[in-house]
Amino acid sequence: MSHKLFLLPGDGIGVEVMGEVEKLIAWLNKEQKADFVTDRGLVGGSAYDKHGAAISEDDMQKALASDAVIFGAVGGPKWDKVPYEVRPEAGLLRLRKDLKLFANLRPASACPGPGHAKCRRSVGGR
Question: Which amino acid is residue 81, in one-letter code?
Answer: K
Output the pTM of the full model.
0.81
Mean confidence (pLDDT) of the chain: 89
Rounded-to-5 percentages of helix, strand, coil across the chain = 45, 10, 45
Tally of CB atoms within 10 A around 70: 17
CB atoms within 10 A of CB 32: 7
Number of domains making up the chain: 1
Domain containing residue 60: 3-122
CA triple 23-104-33, angle to 5 deg: 30
Q: pLDDT for 59-98, tens place per residue?
A: 999 999 999 999 999 999 999 999 999 999 999 999 999 9
**Residue type at 36 in one-letter notation:** F
